[in-house]
Structure 1
Amino acid sequence: MAVLAAAQLLDELMGRHRNSNPNEKIKKPNWEDPEYCKYYMVKFCPHDLFVNTRADLGACPKVHDDEVKDLFERADSTYKKAQYVEEFLRFCRHMIGDVERKIQKGKQRLELMNSKPEGPPMTPAQTEKNQEQVKLLAEKITGLMQEAEEAGTRGDVEQAQGLMKLCDRLKEEKEQLIKQQENSHWSMTAELAAAQEKQMEVCPVCGAFLIVGDAQQRIDDHLSGKQHVGYFKLRQAYEEMSEAREKEQQEKERKRREERERERNSRGGGLGSDRRDRERMERDRERDRERERDRDRERHRSNRDEKDRGGEKDRDRDRERDRDRDRERDRDRDRKHRKERRSPHERSRRRSRDRDRH
């Protein structure tokens, strides 16, 4: 960080091209180059606001150049320029959100310190007696828990439930004693803090703790401090730029409305123009519906053709099965005819063979 700060100081004194050769061609500055600080070109760099304070952001790693800043301000409004502004506002919003959370925590801390404890503080004798009672109750609770476990093991459910109820009452009494002791301790701490410290308040700008009714010199020193001035400048810039951007958007919207109104008036104006607009919109909707119906008819036709093609395939499969059955039937008939055409000698020999078998 120290090296960067020293380099920036040398750049301001001797120029960014202090190490360039005399014959070297120097590149002209361009605000779109990534080496330049976007925040410095838009408004200011937040890294320069909190130097040597608790909110120090360190040295900025980018280059701060007034010439580039002038180029940025003279440039026409573009999308990239709007992005630079949006990024600066986003960074400011993030820092303001952090300090607002700090302010809220500081207020809660003061409320806790200024809150009145419940009841007067206990004396040392009362505190010792309270501790002894807590210890005795803890021993009784432990013994009753063991007896309840033994009764549950024996199967005596009623006795176990009664012991558990008694344990619950003793636990409540123990918690009350502990709470009373804690309240007494907090009461003594609060009284001691109130006696040692003065009444404080939180600065609504930077979140620092201030003494109520402090000397004017100390108040002026705080208001002129880097941290307070930095957050004040940050808040002021964010509010001004946000309001300016909102007004710009409203102006653009107003111009768009006027342009639309002029277009309607140029087409005839008045109610007649509105009626023509409605008629044109109705014709457009009717045309869209007709196109949708045509697409539906085309889809229906394509589905029907697909079904027809599927039915033709089924009919082809049926015809092929019929041909297979006809061929099989022809083969059976041929085998039967061949059997019938066998020679008489073969038939007689088969009959004799059958007789011998029987």
Structure 2
Amino acid sequence: MALRETYTPRGEQRKLVENLLGKGASLKGDSIDVSILDPPRMCKSFIVGKCPYDMLDNTKENMGKCPKWHIEKHKLIYETAKESGIKMPRQNYELDYMNDLQHFVGDCDQRVRIAEERLDYSEADKQLLNDLARTVENLEKTISITSEELNVVQEEKRDMQRSIELNEELQKFILEKETVSERYSATLERLNTVGQQKLQVCEVCGAYMSKVDNDRRLADHFLGKIHIAYAAMRNTLAELREKHSI
């Protein structure tokens, strides 16, 4: 009866190397060519840590497949070279990884600022509502006057050209009133919704949260894949900035 092979971390690494590079292959510090990792098309985030594209996969913020290469063999080469003390460009590519994280976190911070500005409606939106209501009122008066003049011209049948012009103006005013009315309704609905829900913006992922949510709904948010992804990106970015004094 054959003895079952004993599990060891070194044995598992050997199996992984053989699966990726072929049976009998090995990675030794003095035989590793790290130049294979340097091409710009190589995803440094993937080989150093976690690629943000992968972290946001299957979420509402899914941006599709990363445009750079994700190759397991290269990740293994990187990890083995690092363990062997082999220095690679740009602080073992950690500066490239940091740049990728800064891009994603920076975009998220911008969304947070925009979302917070949308919640700050107190004076600006009140003024907007007043302006829209006043515009609708003026358009209603204009429509009434134009309609009356059109009726007079049509009844007297004295000026067909003027009748056509008045009808075109009337339709234009009616369309403009409908557009402004729709904008007024949408603005009012948004203000009512925001006021009722007492929304706030999550500073980690940029999502809207209700201040009156129960503990379960808050837990669902904080355990959501998007929130966890951005929290991890921010933590890793902070660690890299501290490590490299940036």
Normalised TM-score (structure 2):
0.59
Report the secondary structure of 1:205's partner residue.
coil
Partner Cα distance (2:190, 2:230) in 1: 30
The Cα offsets for residues 45-68 of structure 1, whole Å up to 9 and x where unpaired, read as: 333322211233545642246754
Deviation at 1:43, TM superposition (A): 3.3
* Cα distance change, pair 72–133 in 1 and its aligned pair in 2 (3 A): farther
Residues 43, 70 of structure 2: 8 Å contact kept: yes
Instruction: Indicate the residue corresponding to 2:51 in structure 1.
Output: 45
Deviation at 1:121, TM superposition (A): 3.9
The Cα offsets for residues 129-158 of structure 1, whole Å up to 9 and x where unpaired, read as: 24345899xxxxxxxxxxxxxxxxxxxxxx
The Cα offsets for residues 202-240 of structure 1, whole Å up to 9 and x where unpaired, read as: 211111122221122111111111111111111111111
Report the secondary structure of 1:118's partner residue.
helix
Partner Cα distance (1:84, 1:109) in 2: 38
Instruction: Tell me whether 1:191 sits opposite 2:161 in the alignment.
Output: no
* Cα distance change, pair 28–135 in 1 and its aligned pair in 2 (3 A): farther
Instruction: Indicate the residue corresponding to 2:170 in structure 1.
Output: none
Deviation at 1:81, TM superposition (A): 5.2
In structure 2, give the amino acid aligned to 1:62.
Answer: H
Residues 122, 184 of structure 1: 8 Å contact kept: no
Residues 50, 230 of structure 1: 8 Å contact kept: yes
The two structures, once aligned, show a CA RMSD in angstroms of 4.2
Instruction: Tell me whether 1:71 sits opposite 2:80 in the alignment.
Output: yes
Instruction: Indicate the residue corresponding to 2:37 in structure 1.
Output: 34
* Cα distance change, pair 112–133 in 1 and its aligned pair in 2 (3 A): farther
* Cα distance change, pair 77–244 in 1 and its aligned pair in 2 (3 A): farther
* Cα distance change, pair 39–121 in 1 and its aligned pair in 2 (3 A): closer
Instruction: Indicate the residue corresponding to 1:104 in structure 2.
Output: 113
In structure 2, give the amino acid aligned to 1:56.
Answer: N
* Unpaired runs of at least 5, structure 1: 1-11, 137-178, 248-358
Instruction: Indicate the residue corresponding to 2:204 in structure 1.
Output: 205
Instruction: Indicate the residue corresponding to 1:129 in structure 2.
Output: 141
Deviation at 1:21, TM superposition (A): 7.0
* Cα distance change, pair 67–34 in 1 and its aligned pair in 2 (3 A): closer
Instruction: Indicate the residue corresponding to 2:239 in structure 1.
Output: 240
Residues 41, 69 of structure 1: 8 Å contact kept: yes
Deviation at 1:244, TM superposition (A): 1.5
Partner Cα distance (1:16, 1:223) in 2: 37
Deviation at 1:123, TM superposition (A): 11
Instruction: Indicate the residue corresponding to 2:60 in structure 1.
Output: 54
Partner Cα distance (2:20, 2:92) in 1: 33
In structure 2, give the amino acid aligned to 1:91.
Answer: D
In structure 2, give the amino acid aligned to 1:118.
Answer: N
**Bigger CA drift: 237-246 or 185-194?**
185-194
Instruction: Indicate the residue corresponding to 1:84 in structure 2.
Output: 93
Report the secondary structure of 1:192's partner residue.
helix
Instruction: Indicate the residue corresponding to 1:227 in structure 2.
Output: 226
**Bigger CA drift: 93-102 or 52-61?**
52-61
Report the secondary structure of 1:214's partner residue.
coil
List aligned pairs for 1:148-227, cutoff 5 A: 186-196=183-193, 198-227=197-226
Deviation at 1:111, TM superposition (A): 3.0
Deviation at 1:19, TM superposition (A): 8.3
Q: Following TM superposition, where does structure 1 have runs of at least 4 consecutive aligned residues deviating by more than 6 angstroms?
A: 122-126, 179-185
Residues 47, 59 of structure 1: 8 Å contact kept: yes
Partner Cα distance (1:19, 1:77) in 2: 21
In structure 1, give the amino acid aligned to 2:57.
Answer: V
Instruction: Indicate the residue corresponding to 1:115 in structure 2.
Output: 125
Deviation at 1:99, TM superposition (A): 1.0
**Bigger CA drift: 90-99 or 101-110?**
101-110
Report the secondary structure of 1:115's partner residue.
helix
The count of residues paired between Structure 1 and Structure 2 equals 191
Report the secondary structure of 2:209's partner residue.
strand
